[in-house]
Structure 1
Amino acid sequence: MSLFRDDGVVLRTQKLGEADRIITLLTRGHGRVRAVARGVRRTKSKFGARLEPFTHVDVQFFARGSELVGRGLPLCTQGETISPYGSGIVADYARYTAGTAMLETAERFTDHEGEPAVQQYLLLIGGLRTLSRAEHEPRLVLDAFLLRSLAVGGYAPSFSDCARCGLPGPHRFFSVGAGGCVCADCRVPGSVVPSSGALTLLGALLTGDWETADATEPRYAREGSGLVSAYLHWHMERGLRSLRYVEK
């Protein structure tokens, strides 16, 4: 039996019994963790308000044996709010749907519970902070987060050089299966020819060039979002449930 602390972001919650919840968090030191929070659905519980999606919390867990690797679930015994990102997200539909897609992405990219995923954790913290402060358009923040999550997962797309042979670009063709832009010699069936404006935007989002991204015309932003969605769907083998609400 042991107690351990970690800070993390609440990804989602599930009802358990009459008053409990299962809380899924992405933590700094232990990766994705599912834990039981007892009594948090009671109206008088102050602890429960700290364990809502989008909240960055410092949590204490009580675990027995090897519970972090699948034998039962640890208990959330204490929690302190670090940053309530939800307060700046849930009141705006565009920010809320983008944030929900970010939470789902973070969970999908951390398949194994208990394994550290520090880069994904830091990406999520930065994305939610930016989203809650309304520093950029919500869909641009989401697309930047999706592209960087793909890069961390080993699926970084190329928006300039050829993804197959490495020939310096820019190139006209784009293939989600090939890994991004491809030259004429490496072009594969199903390749598309996106606008240079959309490719410039996606390259800026991947590298964090927000000056270029914020100045992009809406038509290029819409086109770029379509490419990101297709690329994500291909490499994750199934789409995000929450992405359909963002697109609406």
Structure 2
Amino acid sequence: MPLRTSEAFILRTYPLKETDRIVSFFTRDFGKKRGVARAARRPKSKFGASLEPLTQVRIQFFERESRDLCSIDHCELLASPLSARTNDLLNSVAISLIAEVADRMLPEAEVSDATYRLLAAATTALRTAPTAWLPLTYYLYWMVRLGGFLPILSITPEAESLAQSIATSPLPTLQGDAAGAAGRELRRVLRAALEDHLEGALRSWPILLTLEPAN
């Protein structure tokens, strides 16, 4: 039962018994894993805030071949996706949606450096961008493209221009916030592609729709 160590992003947690949590996390070196964090629900847990969605951590865990769940020994918090903007509901919803898409799309134990770097870029931008719209749209576009199911984009020239910018430019160099009509149209197409691929609705999306600007 070797001890494994890797950088990772926390994707989702579930209560287990009275004090534990099941944690879904995506590691740079071993792909997506699920494990048990003992006593993580206690007020003075050693895990602290390191198990929040999209938190980047250095995680240590044990695996046994006969068990589906690993045992999480330690999480060192490296970076939080939370922005410095107070009461930023959009940021919180974007975090939930990004983590949900990753958790549902990524297969178990399959390493993807491209996806890990995408998560790192998106979470960094969530902390620093004026709003979460551009980092979120960039992430959704590239998850669909990396997944191999990007449809032919029959969209307006403005939305096509936004998609082209996302396809050809690193996230830190992109301008704007993708909150307007072009961003809404592109996200609508990406949502349809994702939900068709996942064969089910994205739980976080209805809340996101309530936050989109009217114009």
Give the shorter-chain TM-score range: 0.7 to 0.9
Task: Identify the residue that residue 123 of structure 2 maps to in structure 1.
Answer: 128
The answer to whether the aligner puts 1:180 opposite 2:176 as a matched pair is no
**Does structure 1 residue 93 correspond to structure 2 residue 89?**
yes
Distance 2:141 2:176 in 1: 16
1:237 pairs with one of 199, 205, 214: 199
Which whole-Å CA distance do the structure 2 matches of 1:204 and 1:150 have between them?
16
For residue 2 of structure 1, report the CA deviation from its aligned partner: 1.4
| Unpaired segments ≥5 residues, structure 2 | 211-215
- Which sections of structure 1, spanning at least 5 residues, go unmatched? 158-178, 182-191
Q: Any conservation in 2 of the 1:37–1:76 contact (CA below 8 Å)? A: yes
Summarize deviations over 1:176-196 as a string: whole Å, max 9, x none: xxx214xxxxxxxxxx6x321
2:24 corresponding residue in structure 1? 24
1:2 aligns with 2:18: no
CA contact (8 A) 1:8 1:28 kept: yes
* Structure 1 counterpart SS, 2:46: coil
| Cross-structure match for 2:213 | none
**Per-residue Cα deviation, 1:185-220 (whole angstroms, up to 9, x for no partner):** xxxxxxx6x321111112212323766751878222
**TM-score, normalized by length of structure 1?**
0.76
Structure 1 Cα separation of the partners of residues 55 and 193 of structure 2:
29
State the 1:153 CA deviation. 1.2
Separation of aligned partners in 2, 1:75 and 1:115: 19
CA drift at 1:32 = 0.7
User: Percent of pairs identical after alignment?
Assistant: 32
Aligned match of 2:103 in 101, 107, 120?
A: 107
Does the Cα contact within 8 Å between 2:9 and 2:26 map onto a contact in 1? yes
> Residue 208 of structure 2 corresponds to which residue in structure 1?
246
Cα gap change, 1:235 to 1:44, in 2 (>3 Å) = closer
Query: Partner of 2:48 in structure 1?
Result: 48
Pair 36,97 (structure 1): closer, same or farther in 2 beyond 3 Å: same
TM-score by length of 2: 0.86
> Is 1:89–1:131's contact at 8 Å kept on the other side of the alignment?
no
1:196 matches 2:157 = yes
**Kindly tell me: are residues 151 and 145 of structure 1, through their superposed partners in 2, closer, same or farther at Cα, counting changes over 3 Å?**
same
Distance 1:121 1:202, change over 3 A: same
2:24 and 2:179 mapped to 1: Cα distance? 37
User: How has the CA–CA distance of structure 1 residues 231 and 136 changed in structure 2, closer, same or farther, with 3 Å as cutoff?
Assistant: farther
Q: What amino acid sits opposite 1:48 in the alignment?
A: G
The whole-number CA distance in structure 2 between the counterparts of 1:50 and 1:217 is 30
Kindly name which structure, 1 or 2, has the bigger radius of gyration based on alpha carbons.
1
Residues 1:137 and 1:47: Cα distance change in structure 2 (over 3 Å): closer
Give the alignment's Cα RMSD to 1 decimal.
Answer: 2.3
Q: SS in structure 2 opposite 1:81?
A: strand
